[in-house]
Structure 1
Amino acid sequence: MNSESVRPYVTEAAQKYNVDPALIEAVIKQESAYNAGARSHVGAQGLMQLMPETAKELGVENSFDPRQNVMGGAKYLSQLMKMFDGNLTKVIAGYNAGPGAVSHYGGVPPYAETQDYVAKVLKNYEDFKS
């Protein structure tokens, strides 16, 4: 898949969950590089790399289905936006490290992986915005 092929799902999810489509695309690019069949070493699945339990909570039955995955990931981003009052850095960190870690540290946790992830997603976001 590529940006163009996922755009209909991104647009639908962005409208349904009131999330900037550029943010959804930025996360997809970083999480899976548009690989709908992606599976991480910790078990995250699909375009937006949803963990199985999180996917279930979000109503996603098949994380490898591009539409379901994007809808679930956007719903999760929407929940994080509410939780962190729209603070994009905290939202992105929460998507990667979990909202509990962000709340515990009051911002981006001191994990190298999460700090790198936040920087890359923010750069992707700026690229998609322009």
Structure 2
Amino acid sequence: MAAPAAAGAAGDADRSAARAMLQAIAGQQGFYGQLAAEDLGLPIVLLPPPRTLAAPEREAAAANAGFGRALRLLELGLRSEGVREWNFTRRGLGDRELLAAAALACEHEAWDLCINTSERTRSEVDLAQRFPTPHRSQVLQTTRRVGIDPAYVYGLMRQESRFITTVRSGAGASGLMQVMPGTARIVARRIGLDFKPAMLADPDTNLLLGTSYLKMVLDDFAGSQPLATAGYNAGPNRPRRWRDAPVVEPAAWIEAIPIGETRDYVKKVLSNAVYYGALLGAQPPSLKARLGSPIGPPDSNAPPSDRELP
């Protein structure tokens, strides 16, 4: 009888070690911190807001010549130069100075600078700066129209464009939702929109086309956010192939995505969406709810895939 007892003791030791590792990361921000907390049966707790910025702190940021030059460069359409100037100026700043600089960027709707600057703080964390909600009324209106979760859309949009309406990728994706012209043309036809390529530069139209496409991909994957998020980034055909394997938990499936950019993208989008869900009033915030069911081949009775989706 000694062998079963030894095996049980070894199992208890493994479980204790696993729990200790989960506890070590459960307080961290991001995908695995959120997942560890829920695995331990703990709620995902949002960090408390920092102390309110005092007027002198805000005034010092506004008077900083480097930040002023950076914002002026952005106004002139010289985004790369403005970002470089901003990043150079923020070197060596403490948390309170970074929070004040991020607040200044948010006031000027330089959302990428706001997010990226606020993310550098350590002792004080401002989630409202790190997860801002620009275009809020239009996002809520459009997501209601399309029938998709606004927190999910915000989580994806934050990763795609940092809310910069004029950003354009090397591949030709444009705007808030980084929509490709070919994708936009197909989606516009399906929703009855008379599409012209120039329309992608309009934030409201870009948002409508991007959210409509995301909803189509989400529906094609029976509501699975991990699969749909991977499909939005890498095209739906890739996650269709990647799911053709033994059934695994969603987090394990994500970690096995063979394209590093997409693997990181899926984790960040879903983690973002958890925070946005909390900030928009959805309770309780849950990453596991967004991960959904185990992932594997589609059920034999499932409807055929929408192969026209690009």
TM-score (norm 2): 0.40
Distance 1:82 1:95 in 2: 12
- Count of residues in Structure 1 that have an aligned counterpart in Structure 2: 130
Query: Which stretches in structure 1 are left out of the alignment for 5+ residues?
Result: none
Q: Deviations over 1:6-48 (max 9, x none)?
A: 1122112211111000011111110000000010111110000
Match of 1:90 in 2: 227
Matched-pair contact (CA < 8 Å) for 1:47–1:64: no
Return 34-43 or 107-116, whichever deviates more.
107-116
Task: Read off the aligned partner of 2:268 and give its amino acid letter.
Answer: K
Distance 1:4 1:42 in 2: 26
Matched-pair contact (CA < 8 Å) for 2:133–2:154: no
Distance 1:34 1:72 in 2: 15
Percent of aligned pairs sharing the same letter = 35
- Identify which of 172, 175, 186 aligns with 1:46: 175
TM-score (norm 1): 0.93
Distance 2:145 2:138 in 1: 10
Distance 2:271 2:170 in 1: 24
Q: Once the 2 structures are TM-superposed, how far is the Cα of residue 63 of structure 1 from its aligned partner?
A: 1.1
Distance 2:160 2:152 in 1: 12
The 5 A counterparts of 1:60-71 are 60-61=195-196, 62-71=199-208
The 5 A counterparts of 1:1-130 are 1=109, 3-59=132-188, 60-61=195-196, 62-106=199-243, 109-130=257-278
CA RMSD of aligned residues (A): 1.5
Q: Once the 2 structures are TM-superposed, how far is the Cα of residue 4 of structure 1 from its aligned partner?
A: 4.2
Task: Read off the aligned partner of 2:153 and give its amino acid letter.
Answer: I
Task: Read off the aligned partner of 1:100 and give its amino acid letter.
Answer: N
Matched-pair contact (CA < 8 Å) for 1:9–1:71: no
Match of 2:91 in 1: none
Higher-RCO chain (CA-CA 8 Å, sequence separation at least 6)? 1
Q: Which has the larger radius of gyration?
A: 2
Distance 2:213 2:149 in 1: 13
Query: Which stretches in structure 2 are left out of the alignment for 5+ residues?
Result: 1-108, 112-131, 189-194, 244-252, 279-310
Secondary structure of 1:16's aligned partner = helix
Match of 2:122 in 1: none
Task: Read off the aligned partner of 2:205 and give its amino acid letter.
Answer: Q
Q: Deviations over 1:78-127 (max 9, x none)?
A: 10111001011001001000101111111654100000100110111011
Matched-pair contact (CA < 8 Å) for 1:43–1:51: yes
